[in-house]
Amino acid sequence: MIEYTMLHHVSIIVRELEPAKAFYRDVLLLKEIERPPFDFEGAWYGLGEGQQLHLIVHDGETRRNGGIDTRDGHFALRVASYSKTLAWLDRCGVSYEARPHAKAGFPQIYVLDPDHNIIELNADALD
């Protein structure tokens, strides 16, 4: 039997490290954490309670090119305030798809990073 304790990390592919780091640092306000000295470029971000997001610079075939498709692979981050998150994205000039009354049962916001990775930001409830 497997007993899980948490999701440790999610890794996503980026084309260029600096624009990706700027997005995750300046728009999503994630804190970069120390990364081992791998032989390829990347960055790690702490997401709280031992959870991490890893950016990997790679020319692989799994990169997306399209717009927001909520049925495509993505990761989700829970935010404290739906309305404040929308206001912040507006202030940053980031395009998004807002779903305040999503069928999922909680409000959702979808954004794309510079490499078209889909990120879902969701909240417990509307505020």
The radius of gyration of the chain from alpha carbons, rounded to an integer in Å, stands at 15
Mean pLDDT of 52-63: 88
pLDDT for position 4: 82
The H or E element spanning position 74 is strand 74-78
User: From CA 95, how far away is CA 71, in angstroms rounded?
Assistant: 18
Tell me the whole-structure pTM to 2 decimals: 0.92
| Domains of the chain and CATH, by start | 9-59+67-122 (3.10.180.10)
User: 43, 20 in Cβ contact below 8 A?
Assistant: yes
